[in-house]
Amino acid sequence: MTTSPPLAIEHTRVATLRGNEVLHDHTVLVRNGRIERLGPSALLPAPADATRIDGSACTLLPGLCDMHVHLLPSGIDPTEGVPDEASAWAQAEAYLKRLLDAGLTTVRNMAGTPWHLRVRDAVNAGRIPGPRIVTAGPILETRFSFAAMAAFGKLVTSVEQGRAEVHAQAAAGYDFIKVYNDLDPDIYDAIVATARELGLPVAGHVPFGKGLFGALAARQDSIEHFRSYDFALDVREPAGKERFVGWLHSTPARMRELAERTAEAGSWNVPTLVIEEALARSIKGDSADAPWIEATTDQTDLRSVFSPAALAAIAEGLPLRQQLLAAMDHSGARLLAGSDCPGCGLIPGQSLHRELQLMVQAGLSPLRALQTATANAAEYLGLRGQQGQIIEGQRADLLLIEGNATSDLAALSNVRGVATAGTWHTPAGESS
């Protein structure tokens, strides 16, 4: 059995993400994919055979986790510019490289196909470079919320069919179950119960018929985009029934109440503020340059999914979502970072950096925001103690950036290099 030489990242600032701990002028020594030692550089010389990385004027972080992505492509599809398997692999590797170049070492794919299982297994086995992948199967609904759902969803129209689909996805090897808007409450309950029996998390939107409090009572593992909070936030009597409008009719007290109830339930939230910002830009026709967006979304596409009232509420809703995020953090509710790339033209990787910056705008400290993409993600994935912090014995998923990300997350755009299980990559493409 051959082993790669050790890796030594020297003279660097280390944000361990163990609380607010920041170590200065330290060396991190990696061997066989794990963090073997860390200590003051003056006291921890690099082994003679080590690959040495100068971390001066840099910050070393745990690798970042984007907990809401959609991996491209979804398989061979000539209508989508993927005519054969060779093209599919080439496009998948290019997409994964963009994620890795931005410092992402784990991603959660929110709508999966058998093709995604093949890509996941290839990455996780080290056959192709990329971030570790966990993936849902096809999204489950009783009626498709919009026409495009047919491409990546599965209709379940009875309790029995819901249970059977969870068993089928578990047998296929998917990592979790994704639920969506228009899923009947009794079928949702059966899906959640069956997933629990099989040890699979349940994530996604909150079905309209179930409502936020029903999902919290069911202990849905993660709620995406603060879905269904809009209805619960509306303090009008009677509350409105239009999606997203409830954000405009909430109060700080109501936000605190929902944050506390969420904390008590233990469900995680993935706010995806960045895609809400991107939607708002598209609605307002704001085409100003933003390094995390490749293109704005066509107004016709938006109107095919959202009503005029919903679009107006989305356009003004980001500051209110940030207020709820701050209330969640203050209450101890559990938070994860996710981008929803490449939706709305979001750039893989850079959009997660922007998500963390929007969290800081909401009032979180830079280190607290980083925890949502590192230590918190590891806890959610059942990998606490194995990844997500820079601690001896943990998997060596690491991100070295130029500058001080402990005080300014803008530094995340300056990636010097990334380690996945101890293998060193640079944005220019070299690995060692």
Beginning with the edge strand found earlier in the chain, give each strand of the sheet holding 104-109 in spatial order.
64-69, 104-109, 132-135
Q: How far is CA 179 from CA 159, 165, 294, 419, in A?
A: 14, 12, 28, 33
- Across the strands, what pairs with 134? 108
Mean pLDDT value of segment 6-17: 98
- 373-413, pLDDT tens digit by residue? 999 999 999 999 999 999 999 999 999 999 999 999 999 99
Distance CA 70, CA 395 (A): 25
Q: What is the pTM of this model?
A: 0.96
CB atoms within 10 A of CB 429: 9
Distance CA 167, CA 107 (A): 24
Task: Collapse the DSSP code of 121 into the 3-class scheme (helix H, G, I; strand E, B; otherwise coil) and give the result.
Answer: helix
| Placement of tokens 């990334």 in the chain | 418
Task: Collapse the DSSP code of 355 into the 3-class scheme (helix H, G, I; strand E, B; otherwise coil) and give the result.
Answer: helix
Looking at 20-29, 78-87, 261-270, 418-427, which range is the least confident one?
78-87
Chain mean position to CA 264? 23
Judged against a pLDDT cut of 80, whether residue 111 lies above it is answered with yes
241, with CB counted inside 10 A (0-12, 13-18, 19+), is exposed
CB atoms within 10 A of CB 302: 17
Residue 1 has a pLDDT of 37
- 277-307, pLDDT tens digit by residue? 999 988 888 867 888 998 777 777 777 788 8
Domains of the chain with bracketed CATH: 7-63+389-425 (2.30.40.10), 64-135+224-380 (3.20.20.140), 136-223 (3.40.50.2300)
